[in-house]
A and B are shown apart, each in its own frame.
Chain A
């Protein structure tokens, strides 16, 4: 009972802190938090298909890039407002996921992973080569938004924060419905799920398109925020890998795990970045290795047990060969 109580208090304090943060934090921290929210949205969306259904996609960055590009092209070439661009981008991503999901989601495990990786790379090459529409590898610049920089950054902060909250609430709502139970049934045993009358292909496609929708939305906001995108940047495989690491750090298949993972990972890489300038990436590699070896269950599992040396060593004893 007591533990339940504490959870809500901590959550409340965190929420109040995040809502009021732009008023007292410097521009650097506001930007860092905005990008953390963005990654939290993407990790949570990745988790909908990978964590709940058990289908780890290695190409989810394709929706981030598509959302960003759709928003940019609609704004720059067709002179639409940002809202039209971002919503159209997100819807396009959902449709893309449905059309490609129907054949690709029949694959399993590593095959599914590699097919999605191929899909995202193929889309990136296509965007790079369609230079009449996308400016190719030069990228697209958006017009700078006039006005006070602080206000603009605060606006993007609340925008990303809002998307993150919506994504979390949606995932929570979904996990308590028929939809969420169907997803978990697919993860546990796909054939058994099929036998009980779940149209597995259709449910997996729904999961992927929801995941695509939110990732695309984050991509659109990102494009408007940075005011410049190019294929190398927004279709970067490293972004997919980040979604994956954040989800596994936090705990896949839970609602709040990927969010916690996003916060921990981004803060850690920021701290490592600023303290070990020359070897930060190598250090990050070591960090990933240590986390995987000592805590293969993620932080959510860690919070349920007690953190101690014997817990960490027990993980090795359990998983080694």
Chain B
């Protein structure tokens, strides 16, 4: 029974991880940028949920569109007025730039929100269903479903809309996309804003599960990098697979070895996957080509 419980826990957390890595993978796949500020967007989304819940007593699930809208605008401005100015410089300058943005966002939140741990506790937080000895909290189940639904929405957007197709085209071949009339600058801005929005949504979901603080983001940036590499850059089904693998590996690792080795397993997994299959589980070659 304990095993079954662990499998369920792993799947539930894996769904959430998929939404955490979604935007990160998209930005990496399309723009070839490792966005260190990704965790900071998750943190901002979590705080938007917290403050709306705190002041207006909205149900935390209702706050998700608000935090997504807020981080969308934030991401849009950052890409348009900062990152787009240096995209043609050395690849790693952009990396340092996102690091600067991360420090800034973290510390501004620290000033505004203070470093206290905060949590969102709706009425129904404790209730759940018990299926033959396996306990499934309603809120975890809902979080997992919404995370997967968000992932599905992004997939739909990329495949069915004109902008989505333009983003995919830009990730396949920048020059060819420009030739057929795609404005790369605008596409980059859109991609980054979307990525930030989905990070914000994931942040809202995380706020309902664990206590939040301005410095919570770093670990999620790592997890996002791990999942993006596992799944294959820019591939949405890959992100879901990667999220589930990481979620399962973590819960199984803490069950069979020791909880202290939870993160260790994730990182060892990352290094091995990179050495053995750099294009990820579901990545295709063109998604992951490194050009420099």
Contact = CB atoms under 8 A, between A and B. Distances in A.
B4 interface: no
A109 B267 CA distance: 18
A276 B108 CA distance: 13
A307 to B, nearest CB: 18
Contacts of A56: 92
Interface in A263-321: 278-279, 281-282, 284-289, 292-293, 296, 315-316, 318-321
A253 to B, nearest CB: 11
Nearest to B103: A285
A114 interface: yes
A126 interface: yes
Interface string A236-249: 01000100110010
Interface string B75-89: 000000010111111
B100 A111 contact: no
B104 A321 contact: no
B96 interface: yes
B102 interface: yes
A131 B17 CA distance: 30
A118 interface: yes
Given A129-B261, A278-B111, A288 B229 contact: no
Interface residues of B, number: 52
B28 interface: yes
Interface in A159-199: none
A285 B28 CA distance: 22
Interface stretch (A90-98, A99-107, A141-149): A99-107
A18 to B, nearest CB: 28
Contact of B85 (A104, A107, A121, A316): A316
Given A282-B103, A285-B100, A321-B188, A122 B264 contact: yes
Interface residues of A, number: 45
B173 to A, nearest CB: 16
Contacts of B128: none
Query: Do most interface residues of chain A lie in helix, strand or loop, or is the interface mixed?
Result: helix
Nearest to A292: B97
A113 interface: yes
A131 B218 CA distance: 25
A115 interface: yes
A127 to B, nearest CB: 10
B99 A104 contact: no
A107 B270 contact: no
A96 B165 CA distance: 45
Contact of A288 (B84, B99, B261): B99
A150 interface: no
Contacts of A284: 100, 103
A321 B270 contact: no
Interface in B54-76: none
A124 B105 CA distance: 26
B97 A106 contact: no
B49 to A, nearest CB: 23
A13 to B, nearest CB: 31
A110 B264 contact: no
Contact of B111 (A109, A113, A241, A282): A282
A215 interface: no
Given A103-B275, A117-B225, A319-B87, A289 B270 contact: no
Contact of B97 (A113, A281, A289): A289
B85 A320 contact: yes
Contacts of A288: 96-97, 99-100, 103
28 contacts: A104-B271, A104-B274, A108-B290, A110-B28, A110-B32, A110-B290, A113-B34, A118-B270, A118-B274, A121-B267, A122-B264, A125-B264, A129-B264, A241-B99, A248-B96, A285-B104, A285-B105, A286-B104, A288-B96, A288-B100, A288-B103, A293-B82, A319-B86, A319-B87, A320-B87, A320-B185, A321-B88, A321-B185
Interface of B: 28, 32, 34, 82, 84-97, 99-108, 110-111, 184-185, 188, 218, 222, 225-226, 229, 258, 260-261, 263-264, 267-268, 270-271, 274-275, 278, 290, 292
Per CB-CB distance, the 8 closest pairs between chain A and chain B, nearest first, are A288-B100, A285-B104, A285-B103, A282-B107, A125-B264, A122-B267, A109-B290, A296-B89
